[in-house]
Chains A and B, each alone.
Chain A
Amino acid sequence: MPKAERRTISFLLNGDPVEVTVPVTRYLVDVLREDLAMMGTKRACDQGACGSCSVVMDGALISSCLVLAVRAEGASIQTIEGLGSIEGGLHPLQKSFASHGATQCGYCTPGMIVAGKALLDANPDPSVEEIKHWLTGNLCRCTGYAKIIEAIRAVAEGRTEPAFPITVPTVKAHG
């Protein structure tokens, strides 16, 4: 197995400068997850077919499994962690997804929310039809998309109050 050339790259990750030395053959999704421990970005198809690894690079919505990490040199990357967190406060889209039942298994959710954010940045008041078109690059097998579309519409309409209170988290017995 020939060893790939390594290169040091620097970029802005959710507003913070990062520097990382990686093989030139490594994809952005792997650098985010394995080198930078940004686990919110999911990988699921490795072919740019499902959108689970969606991030925003210099304002454009991309599949990070299709972009070599060296392409991120000097770029500004936003991941789901950059939108908000439970500790630091959730983004309205994150709250809306949680309260509208727009997450089921949740594996597509970070990519879906990042895509929704990119949509609202470009078009703050999208119609249902526009939302459907925009989301065709993000696959969800659980929800049928209905509640995802509802959650995005709610934010566009400024309905920031969740439909229902977010209740106490499930206690996981481990980890």
Chain B
Amino acid sequence: MPLPSLHPVGASFPRANGAQLAAGSAAYVDDLRPAGLLFGAVLRAGRPHARILRIDTRRAERLKGVACVLTGHDIPVNAYGPLLQDQPVLCTDKVRYEGDPVVALCAESWAAAAEAARLVRVEYEDLPVVSDPEEAIRPGSPLLHEAHPTGNLVLEWKIRRGNLDAGFAEADLIVEERYQSRTQEHASIETHICMAEVDANGRLAVHVSSQTPYQIRFNVSRVLKLPIARVRVLSASAGGGFGGKHEPMLEPLAALCALKTGRPVKFRMTREEEFTASTIRHSLAMDYKTGVTRDGRITARRLRLLLDGGAYCSYGETTASKAALMGAGPYRVPNLHVDSLLTYTNNGIAGAVRGFGVTQTTYACECHMDTIARRLEMDPLDFRRRNAMQAGDAAHSGDVIRSCGFAEALDAATREVNWGAIGGGRTSPCGRKRRGRGLAAMIYPVGFTAAANPSGAFARVNEDATLTIYTGCADVGQGAHVILRQIAAEELGVDLESVHIVTGDTDLAPLDLGSVASRVTHIGGNAVRRAVAKAKGFLLRKAAQMIEAAEEDLEIADGKIAVKGAPDRCRTLPEVALKCHRDGEIPIAEGAYNPPGLHLDKTTGQGKPYDCYVFAAHAAEVEVDMDTGECRVLQLAAAHDVGRAVNPMNVEGQIEGGSLQGYGFGMLERIRYKGGIAQNPNLHDYLIPTALDGPARMKPIIVETEEPTGPFGAKGVAEPALNPTTPAILNAIYDAVGARITDLPATPEAVLRAMGMINGRH
């Protein structure tokens, strides 16, 4: 399973800034305190749907210590959004969710800013609240965006493949189920924050904690009508992202305040705003219908996915399309129809979250697979093996899968938990407890092609043959920078310590789409590798002259460039690098990667939407308390096909962290809304997993495959890690006590309800 070894690619180097992080000396935006700093506050709607009649900021403006007050009329282009520009920077005529921003201001202290926000008077006329996505798209429902051509239906994604009716006619058994997923907040430990300042030349510097610094630069320049060259975005240490630190929610406000006051201005969300104002995970109602033959072959599948998109489109299209394209799972499904519908409602604002729709569909699909296997009286493992995708198969878009470690992942995860010997409702040694086993699998795409997806990098070989890489890839905790250094070192043939990274400044490195969609290792890595390969070309050309040999006969090893098979005919790398510089042939090069795509037909979902695919299988053993409904995960094995593991320790860290986030999605987390108002917007009433939650024993397993499009065969791992965890646990609960959980999270009450022990609504 492991690929032939390379070095430094394939070795577990710790991240370079680990020591600063552990010392507490790494600077996050909240730690930046320039002289004259002003502190911002945002007045938000606090109501889910209303027309704004009047905004009176006079009392706030008169408060001592207030420097600047902004309304939407101050924003030159007051609309943004990645697909539809349907979201105002500050609302002027209407608010569509409780966190919609209406007034932004800054003052001499956080307290003065908060006090000033309380003095703003806004008169509203409340409008009917749209809180149910099914109701939202019925004719006559109150509209959130009156000008949107399809009403509260934001958009629709379809897959049409094969002949559905013929597929169902061929089936011996047809199973239909509905699953409901719920919201999830990213819950990065650091809340959203930014600081903007204006330099002596009138240029804006925006310090961010962002996954996407270049998108921040683009958006700030766009909404403030500034040339991009006047906006510099600087990345401080970032305290977690998970898809949440993606959108320009605070940066334009801080930038405009800084321009108006000439002073540095900081905006920071409270923990409550994290829940009520920033983006959250889409909740999905998912109808699955599958036809199978008696011997367990899938003949047809039909999916209807209804996404609650909240008040604005945000990354809803990406979520709806990924859910559609991946929703039928890592299985051969010859006849498939998917309808994925994104709706507007007044419930929060759903956007990018680790897993992008596939977390939700994996939960539904894999519980559905479990139900079918049981109806067929087949082992769920055998049923999955029977239908598993393999390399050379088509994904549900018709795109060919080039590398696939799915079979190996299924084997490895089930072997790790001793699949054949556990579960089946056997009683636990103590009390009224029963044990079950559960399995779940996943396909996830890496490197989307439906939209531009570029990373650029510069590589410069210095006079002593050390290497400097300029990259715009943001490291928000996932360890991107050590991975890019490993890839660069491998390509040049030097050790890791010879590679330095210059990053965190949009002035210095070329455009990078961002640390999103599990794309950094694959796409950022390809860009870095290409840049280094070009810079290496200078060295090889120079060495060929110096040694008087043909360039193609040379190789780099042990700090030297030598003729293959004649190691004595060589020059040291520093000698060659210095000669390049002295001859004026500076070894500096750019590299870029933007995965090639084919036209994707939006009426059939057929084409080539992604560069490659990763696969995973999680196997869980769970103990359910028959009296209380409490579930304890005794063990979880999480096997992930990641392509080549560039840094196994980082890969393990992603799998361990992702799996626990997946545990939270399935077992603990849900923002509860009442008429569009979040009822639990804090970390006491909305629980994320602690060290005591989650599996008593957790085993990450790396499955290596060689992906031809990836740098040294690498694919990715970040988002996929959390997707199969929930259904693996829920299937184990079913195996233990025969209770099928069809709504989340699986709290003890929900389990007792599914067991028929208590009644009532969720």
Contacts and interface: CB of A to CB of B under 8 A. Distances in A.
Q: A and B from one assembly? A: yes
Interface of A: 1, 37, 39-47, 49-50, 52, 79-81, 84-86, 90, 93-95, 97-101, 103-110, 113, 131-133, 135-136, 138-149, 162-164, 166-175
Interface in B289-342: none
B14 A99 contact: yes
Interface of B: 12-28, 30-33, 111-112, 115, 186-191, 234, 237-242, 270-271, 468, 475-479, 481-482, 496-497, 500-505, 507-508, 649-650, 652-653, 656-661, 682-684, 688-692, 694, 698
Nearest to B232: A174
A163 B191 CA distance: 32
Contact of B14 (A39, A44, A98, A106): A98
Contacts of B31: 39
10 contacts: A40-B23, A47-B683, A101-B15, A101-B650, A105-B239, A164-B14, A168-B16, A170-B16, A173-B504, A173-B505
Contacts of A43: 30
A167 B190 contact: no
Given A144-B657, A170-B481, A107 B189 contact: yes
A37 B24 CA distance: 12
B17 A170 contact: yes
A106 B477 contact: yes
A107 B393 CA distance: 43
A46 B190 CA distance: 12
A50 B189 contact: yes
Given A105-B239, A136-B690, A144 B658 contact: yes
Contacts of B479: 101, 104
Given A95-B22, A107-B239, A142-B477, A172 B503 contact: yes
Contacts of B468: 171
Given A141-B657, A162-B14, 15 more contacts: A44-B189, A81-B24, A86-B20, A105-B476, A141-B187, A145-B691, A149-B691, A163-B14, A164-B13, A167-B497, A169-B17, A169-B20, A172-B503, A173-B508, A174-B234
B270 A39 contact: no
A60 B501 CA distance: 41
Nearest to B17: A170
Contact of B477 (A104, A136, A172): A104
A103 B238 CA distance: 12
B460 to A, nearest CB: 12
B14 A174 contact: no
Contacts of B698: 144, 146
Given A131-B691, A167-B497, A108 B22 contact: no
B24 A40 contact: yes
A86 B691 contact: no
B271 A46 contact: yes
A136 B346 CA distance: 34
B690 A139 contact: yes
The 3 nearest A-B residue pairs measured at CB = A40-B24, A105-B477, A107-B239
Choose among A1, A80, A135 the residue with the greatest number of B CB atoms under 10 Å from its CB.
A1
Given A105-B188, A106-B26, A172-B504, A135 B691 contact: yes
B691 A148 contact: yes
A135 B690 CA distance: 8
A147 B656 contact: yes
Q: Which of B12, B189, B482 has the most CB of A within 10 A?
A: B189
Contacts of A101: 12, 14-15, 18, 479, 649-650, 652-653
B207 to A, nearest CB: 9
B503 A173 contact: yes
A106 B234 contact: no
Contacts of B684: 47, 49
A141 B24 contact: no
A88 to B, nearest CB: 9
Residue in B25, B28, B502 whose Cβ sees the most chain A Cβ within 10 Å: B25
B189 A52 contact: yes
B686 to A, nearest CB: 10
Given A107-B189, A107-B190, A169-B19, A1 B14 contact: no
